[in-house]
Amino acid sequence: MLVDPSNEVLATTTCSGEHPWWIEGTVIPVVWKRRWDRGRVFYCSIGHRLDDLKVPQLTERIRRGAIRAAEGRWAARS
């Protein structure tokens, strides 16, 4: 799913020196959306640590993606 060309990528991350050497500098999608048949999929891999959810931009991204996708509207780009 991370490399599917039909995903519309909304945010990425670049692997730093904290990661294994073979992926250092690799850009990875972390927030994306797509259509799936008649439905919609919103994916966000950010938020593995509780402190991540203290970032207002992240919680807003999740709110826009999850709630608006459920309402039949897509997340607005910001």
End-to-end CA distance of the chain: 23
Banded pLDDT at 53 (limits 50, 70, 90)? confident
Q: Which domain holds residue 56?
A: 8-70
33, 11 in Cβ contact below 8 A? no
Q: How far apart are CA 40 and CA 25, in angstroms?
A: 30
pTM for the structure as a whole: 0.70
Domain assignment of residue 75, yes or no: no
Domain assignment of residue 65, yes or no: yes
Domain assignment of residue 39, yes or no: yes
Mean pLDDT of 47-71: 80
Q: What is the pLDDT of residues 21-39, one digit of tens each?
A: 888 898 989 888 888 887 7
Domain count across the chain = 1
- Mean pLDDT, the chain, rounded, equals 80
Judged against a pLDDT cut of 80, whether residue 19 lies above it is answered with: no
Strands 8-14 and 39-44: unpaired
